[in-house]
Amino acid sequence: MRLRKFLPLIPAALILGSLMFPSGCANTTTPPSGGPKDTIPPVITKISPLPGATNVNVHNTKIRFTFNEYVKIKDANGIFLSPPMEKRPKAVIRGKSVEVTFESDLDTNTTYTLDLTGAIVDNNEGNPFPGYTLVFSTGSRIDSLCMTGLVQDCNSLMPMKGVTVMLYKDHADSAVFLRRPVAAARTDDWGFFSIRNIQDTLYRVYAVKDENNNNLYDPETERVAFLDSLFRPNIMYNDSLYELKKFDMKDTALCMARKTEVELNLFREKPSKQMIVKKERVGLRTAYLTFMAPDAVIHDMRIKGLPREKLISQFNLQRDSLELWVNDQRKMPDTLHLVLKYDKTDTTGKLRPTEETVKLAIGKELRAELQKQQRTSTRDRKHEDTIAVMTTVADPSTFEQYGYQIEFQYPVVESAWDSLRFRSVNPRQQELPGKVKVVQDSTNLRKYSIFPEEKLQIGFDYFLKIPHRIFRDVNGFYNDSTELKVTLPNDEKLSSITLELSSVKNKYIVDLLTEKRDKVIRSFIVNSDSSVIFPYLKEGNYCIRITEDLNRNNLVDTGILLQHKQPEKVRYFKLNDQIMIQVLERSEMIWKIDLEEMFR
């Protein structure tokens, strides 16, 4: 009789074994030999109700997972119920078991999945439980279809972890704002998601970075993605599906081998309201404003008691942050009163020209810093507190494209660019004077690029002399002298990449990125069929990102959910389906890219 009592658990044990230990993973049921430290993750020994159970009671439902050792809940958010309820499940530890309960009744005739991925670790060493998804139904049948996909950032195409992917049978545009989905899942470290045991029907598909865990989309604070068309699942769920197995997120090969059906690009919508949301005085003559929405429109701006021409301002590229400087050497008051007329959202939701006076007061931290400077004697004062601070860049590998670059900490109000001295020294040490061209950055009034007018040659040294006191900033300080030297790279081990671009019918931004995709090495704007060259490359891995800039504003424009408008498209150039390009020493790589085909 006692043996008969445990017979129903045998199928459950077989199911658990196949789900928890996929092909290619280490057998974690055998403890390591020869080492005192426990590295074995917990193992489920019993589940109630059993996997695949039907007609589960909807009232006071309890789910119990019993492990082979004592465990603890590391991340309660990792216990995820689909379809989600208004309040997330509650979990408590009872002995070696995790007991999950719900604050309200479950829906009738509904297939549920309860996922534990990333939630549980053992009590002693913190070894993570690899995860498990329990499926059960409050009706007489289990839904049997599934889907897979990838969620990535619309700008970088980097995978997005912890994003909630939602399915709706309600196809109305308002559903994601007002109602919870009929099925959902969270993305893993690789942006991958799988939604299993769903019905055979048409769904609207959304992805939301659900910051407040309410399983709704809150546009003011959250990012969203959506699928252009309705989706109908066509893959039948079974335990052997590779994409639905639980993998160690550090196992790149196994995780990257999973196939996906849909791809969702996460973006942040422009806020529906426009107003000033932040202001700060960051110096005696410096302040900034932050607007709620981009593309702020300012009609007039002045500081009380000062002529208009004494105020210098600069928007960032998105036009949602405004820097301000006062070009006046008189003693500045503790509070500057900025009178601003701009398009602000009124109570009816309309943008209307509105005049607003913004008080820019000296805060406690700034006041303490200013008082400290006053107490410091002239002899002990830092040198950078008495000069027009500037940073200079002269990178040999990008010098032909970007030249010498100078960026001042504060705007320059007096300059003598004709005092710059440029010279070249050839391999025979003969020195020749030359001329330069100065270009102010179109998006940063404090930044300048300086280009030699002569053709650059390998083997030559190029010197730019910046004399003392040829620039004065808004604080009344003058620059120090400095000299910059550049020699074009002539290492025979260096390589180059050439892209022959065709079918260029729009404006494109072509970026060469580092292996981690966190830094742009070079960037080109392309408007017509042409060749783009990335020279002087060291051996290593690189990525090439191409952005379709339809409105020619040098930005990846965001999407608009209710208008079914996706963000502007970003693509990576791929070799053999891999975005990582390996560059070897002494190589000249040339590839042809049909941009119309790439962005189709």
Dump pLDDT digits (tens) for 513-571. 999 888 999 999 999 999 999 999 999 999 999 999 988 888 778 999 999 999 999 99
> What residue ranges in 57-122 does DSSP mark as E strands?
62-67, 71-73, 80-82, 90-94, 97-101, 111-115, 120-122
What are 500-516's pLDDT values in tens digits? Answer: 999 999 999 999 999 98
What are 98-155's pLDDT values in tens digits? Answer: 999 999 999 999 999 999 998 999 988 889 998 899 999 999 999 999 999 999 999 8
- The encoded tokens of residue 599 equal 């962005």
Segment among 182-186, 341-345, 385-389, 472-476 with least mean pLDDT? 385-389
Average pLDDT over residues 55-75: 95
For residue 36, what pLDDT band results from cuts at 50, 70 and 90? low
For residue 37, what pLDDT band results from cuts at 50, 70 and 90? confident
Domain 1-141: which topology?
Answer: Immunoglobulin-like (2.60.40)
The phi, psi pair for 321, rounded to 5°, reads: -140, 130
From the candidate CATH numbers 3.30.1360.120, 2.60.40.10, 3.40.640.10, 1.10.3720.10, the one assigned to the domain spanning 495-598:
2.60.40.10
DSSP codes joined into one string, 145-169: EEEEEEEEETTT--B-TTPEEEEES
Average pLDDT over residues 164-190: 96
What share of the chain has pLDDT > 90, as a percent?
A: 80
Every domain of the chain with CATH number 2.60.40.1220 lies at 1-141, 276-369, 384-487
pLDDT over 60 (residue 15): no
For residue 596, what pLDDT band results from cuts at 50, 70 and 90? very high
pLDDT over 80 (residue 18): no
Whether domain 276-369 has CATH 2.160.20.10: no
For residue 220, what pLDDT band results from cuts at 50, 70 and 90? confident
Would you state the pLDDT for residue 27?
38
Nearest residue to 43 (alpha-carbon basis) of 62, 24, 66, 25: 66
Every domain of the chain with CATH number 2.60.40.10 lies at 495-598
Q: Residue 476 — left, alpha, or beta (φ > 0 → left; ψ -120 to 50 → alpha)?
A: left
Would you state the pLDDT for residue 7?
41
- Tell me the whole-structure pTM to 2 decimals: 0.78
At CB < 8 A and 24+ separation, what contacts does 464-468 make?
464/394, 464/404, 464/420, 464/421, 464/422, 464/436, 465/420, 465/421, 465/422, 465/423, 466/392, 466/406, 466/420, 467/419, 467/420, 467/421
**Backbone CA torsion sign across 255, 133, 217, 260:** positive
Nearest residue to 246 (alpha-carbon basis) of 516, 38, 11, 44: 44
Higher per-residue confidence, 338 vs 131: 338
- CA dist 217 and 211 (Å) reads 9
Q: Are 370 and 284 in contact (CB under 8 A)?
A: yes
pLDDT over 60 (residue 247): yes
Average pLDDT over residues 269-294: 94
pLDDT over 80 (residue 10): no
Average pLDDT score over the chain: 91
pLDDT over 80 (residue 352): yes
Whether domain 384-487 has CATH 2.60.40.420: no
- CA dist 457 and 433 (Å) reads 15
